[in-house]
Structure 1
Amino acid sequence: MPVRSQPTARQARLGAELRRLREAAGLKAREVAGLLSSTSAQMSQVEAGLAGVSEERIRRLATHYACGNVELIDALAAMTIRTQGWWEEFRGVLPPVFLDVAELEHHAAFLREVVITHIPGLLQTPDYARAVFGYMVPELPESEIVPRVEHRMRRRSVITGASPKSYETIVHEAALRMRVGSREVQRAQLRAMLEQIGDQRASVRVIPFDTDHFAGASSAMMYVGGTLPRLDTVLRDSPHGTAFLDAESQLDRFRTLFRKVEKASLAPAQSRDFIHLLTKEL
Structure 2
Amino acid sequence: MPAGGRPTMRSRRLGSALRRLREAARLDQQQAAEYIGGSKAKISRVEAGQVAARPGDVRLLLELYGVEDPDVSRHLEQLARDSSKRGWWLNYVVPDGFGDYVALEEDATCIRSWQPLLIPGLLQSPEYTRTLVEGNPNVTDPALAEQVVKVRQERRQRVFDSGTRFTAVIGEAALASPIPSRAVHLGQLADLLESAQRPHVTVQVLPAAEWHITRCAPGFVMLSFDGEWSPAVVSQDIQDNIVIAEGSEQIARYATAFEACQATALTPGKSEEYIRDLLERLSEEPTQQ
Q: TM-score of the superposition, structure 1-length normalised?
A: 0.82
Does the CA-based 8 Å contact 1:11-1:49 persist in structure 2? yes
In 1: Cα distance, 2:175 partner to 2:3 partner: 46
Aligned residue-pair number: 281
In 2: Cα distance, 1:30 partner to 1:277 partner: 65
The worse-fitting range, judged by mean Cα deviation, of 89-98 and 136-145 is 89-98
In 2: Cα distance, 1:271 partner to 1:245 partner: 30
Does the CA-based 8 Å contact 1:173-1:207 persist in structure 2? yes
Does the CA-based 8 Å contact 1:226-1:233 persist in structure 2? no
- Match of 2:151, SS state, is helix
- Match of 1:227, SS state, is coil
- Match of 1:139, SS state, is coil
In 2: Cα distance, 1:33 partner to 1:231 partner: 32
In 1: Cα distance, 2:166 partner to 2:278 partner: 22
Give yes or no for the alignment of 1:138 onto 2:126.
no
Aligned counterpart, 1:265: 265
Aligned counterpart, 2:209: 210
Aligned counterpart, 2:169: 170
Change (3 A) 1:68 1:250: farther
In 2: Cα distance, 1:29 partner to 1:167 partner: 38
Q: Which runs of 5+ in 2 are unaligned?
A: none
Aligned counterpart, 1:242: 242
Does the CA-based 8 Å contact 1:105-1:158 persist in structure 2? no
CA shift, 1:98, in A, is: 4.3
Change (3 A) 1:215 1:92: closer
Matches within 5 A, 1:1-282: 5-30=5-30, 32-67=32-67, 70-82=70-82, 88=88, 90-136=90-136, 138-158=138-158, 160-161=160-161, 163-179=162-178, 181-198=180-197, 202-211=201-210, 213-214=212-213, 216-218=215-217, 220-229=219-228, 232-239=232-239, 241-279=241-279, 280-281=281-282
Cα RMSD over matched residues?
Answer: 3.3
In 2: Cα distance, 1:2 partner to 1:273 partner: 47
Q: Which runs of 5+ in 1 are unaligned?
A: none
- Match of 2:131, SS state, is helix
Instruction: For residues 3-24 of structure 1, give each alpha carbon's deviation from its aligned partner in whole angstroms, at most 9, with x where no partner exists.
Output: 9632332222112222333344
Q: Counterpart amino acid of 1:50? A: Q
Instruction: Could you list the structure 1 runs, at least 4 aligned residues long, displaced by more than 6 angstroms after superposition.
Output: 1-4, 83-86
CA shift, 1:256, in A, is: 3.4
Does the CA-based 8 Å contact 2:2-2:84 persist in structure 1? no
Change (3 A) 1:139 1:200: same
In 1: Cα distance, 2:2 partner to 2:97 partner: 22
Does the CA-based 8 Å contact 1:128-1:181 persist in structure 2? no
Q: TM-score of the superposition, structure 2-length normalised?
A: 0.80
Does the CA-based 8 Å contact 1:116-1:172 persist in structure 2? yes
Q: Counterpart amino acid of 1:269? A: G
CA shift, 1:181, in A, is: 4.4
